């Protein structure tokens, strides 16, 4: 469903952000 896809996209986005912050600091 749309909600499942949105949740998955948000999860991936948050993972990308966490990885980016980890590399920055």
pLDDT in tens, 1-25: 888 899 999 999 999 999 888 876 5
Q: State whether the Cα torsion 23-20-7-1 is positive or negative.
A: negative
Structure confidence at residue 21 (pLDDT): 84
Dist. CA 1–CA 6, nearest whole Å: 9
Dist. CA 17–CA 3, nearest whole Å: 21
What pTM was estimated for this model as a whole?
0.53
- Domain around 9: 1-25
Structure confidence at residue 1 (pLDDT): 81
Structure confidence at residue 25 (pLDDT): 58
Tally the domains of the chain: 1
């Amino acid at each position: 469903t749309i909600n499942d896809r949105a949740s998955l996209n948000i999860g991936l986005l948050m993972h990308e952000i966490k990885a980016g912050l980890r590399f920055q600091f």
